[in-house]
Chains A and B, each alone.
Chain A
Amino acid sequence: MSPRALYFLVAALLMLVCLASAAVYYCLRGRRSSQGTWESLLKRLTFVDRDAIAVIALDVIDESGQQRRDDNSAIMGAPEIWKLIGGWDGMEALEANCTVLIDLAFFVQQWYPEKALVVAEQLRLNAREIQWHVERLKGAAKSGHLESSILMNAQRAAVTYFLMTRHVLELYESRNLAMLADLQKAL
Chain B
Amino acid sequence: MHLTGLDFLLWAVSFAAQVALLFVLCFRRRASAYPFFTTYISANVVRTIVLYLVLHFGPRAAYFYTYWSLAILDVLLQLCVVYEISSRIFRPLGSWAKDVRGSFLCFIGISIAMAAALTWLADPHTRFWMQVLIIRGNLFSAVLMSELFVTMITLSVTVGLPWKAHIAKIAQGLGVWSVMDFLIETGHSYFGLSQKTGVYHHLSQMRIAVYIACVAYWIVTLWRDAPAPRELSGQMYRELFALQGLVGSQLQSLRSRRRS
Please indicate the chain A residues that have their CB under 8 angstroms from the CB of B242 in the complex. Answer: 177
Q: Is B116 an interface residue (CB 8 A)?
A: no
Q: Are B251 and A63 in contact (CB under 8 A)?
A: yes
User: C-beta contact mask, B155-172 vs A, less than 8 Å → 1, else 0?
Assistant: 011111111000000000
Contacts of A103 in B (CB 8 A): 160
B59 to nearest A CB, angstroms? Answer: 34
Q: A15-B114, A63-B255 are in contact. Are A23 and B240 (CB under 8 A)?
A: no
The interface size bin for chain B is 35 or more
When distances are taken between beta carbons in the complex, the residues of chain B under 8 Å from A55 are: 257
Query: Are B156 and A124 in contact, CB atoms less than 8 angstroms apart?
Result: no
Bound-state CA distance A29–B160 (Å) is 11
In residues 174-233 of chain B, which contact A (Cβ within 8 Å)?
175, 179, 182-183, 186, 189-190, 229-230, 232
A16 touches B186 (CB 8 A): yes
Do the beta carbons of B230 and A112 come within 8 Å of each other? yes
B153/A26 in contact, CB under 8 A: yes
- Count residues of A near B (Cβ-Cβ below 8 Å): 54
A34 pairs with B143, CB closer than 8 A: no
Q: Does B6 contact A (CB under 8 A)?
A: no
> With an 8 A cutoff between CB atoms, is A152 at the interface?
no
How near does chain B come to A126, taking the closest CB pair, in angstroms?
Answer: 10
Q: How far is the CA of A174 from the CA of B240 in the complex (A)?
A: 6
Interface residues of A in 112-136 (CB under 8 A from B): 112-115, 117-118, 120-121, 124-125, 127-128
Partner of A113, one of B93, B149, B229: B229
Please measure, in the bound complex, the distance between the C-alpha atom of A118 and the C-alpha atom of B95, giving whole angstroms: 12
B92 touches A121 (CB 8 A): yes
Find A7's partner among B98, B121, B156, B161 (CB 8 Å cutoff): B121
Establish whether residues A127 and B160, one from each chain, have CB atoms under 8 Å apart when the complex forms.
Answer: yes
15 further interface pairs, Cβ-Cβ under 8 Å (given A27-B153, A99-B160, A177-B243):
A5-B123, A9-B186, A12-B189, A16-B179, A16-B182, A19-B182, A27-B157, A34-B162, A102-B160, A106-B160, A111-B230, A124-B160, A125-B99, A173-B243, A175-B236
Jot down 17 A-B pairs with beta carbons below 8 A, ordered by A: A4-B121, A5-B190, A8-B121, A16-B179, A19-B150, A23-B175, A27-B153, A30-B156, A106-B162, A109-B162, A112-B230, A112-B232, A118-B93, A121-B92, A177-B236, A177-B243, A180-B243
